Amino acid sequence: MKISSSHQKFADRLNNQTALEYPERFLGPNWKDVLNFWIYLDTLSREELDKVYEHHRGLKDIHISRRLAWCAAKDTIGYDYTNAAAFAYYVNCYNAAGCHATSELIGSHKLETLTFFPLFINF
């Protein structure tokens, strides 16, 4: 299995390298989507990330979407794992859109719509 930089940061933040071998134990039922997203993030250039960030900053009323994503992830995998997953990407790139999209993917089975993940597809 390919390990993305965010996946490694996630395991480091948890101080548990088992998260690399058995991500399904830590990332919930949508773990494959999360890992694929993190691998995809590693392929984006700085310019592409800047475009995503600009679109993220332009969103209106993101507080509700951010809260819904966080709560769906927390309800799925718990506070500690959600915190580690959401900020694994942020630590790498300082881009809040990536941590919000990660939360959305973790809890996507509980959300009606995704707000942040599409930013990475339609930039």
Task: Name the 3-class secondary structure at 41.
Answer: helix
Q: Which of 103, 112, 111, 100 is nearest to 53 (CA)?
A: 100
Number of C-beta neighbours around residue 92 at 10 A: 17
Packing angle between helix 31-43 and helix 79-93, nearest 10 degrees?
10
Could you read off the pLDDT of 20-58 as tens digits, one per residue?
A: 999 999 999 999 999 999 999 999 998 998 888 888 888
Q: ∠ CA(104), CA(109), CA(115), 5° rounding?
A: 35
| Alpha carbon distance 42, 24 (integer Å) | 20
Q: What does each C-alpha distance from 106 to 13, 60, 113, 118 come to in angstroms? A: 17, 23, 13, 14
Q: ∠ CA(44), CA(57), CA(107), 5° rounding?
A: 70
Q: What is the pTM of this model?
A: 0.91
Could you read off the pLDDT of 56-103 as tens digits, one per residue?
A: 888 888 899 999 999 999 999 999 999 999 888 665 555 678 889 999
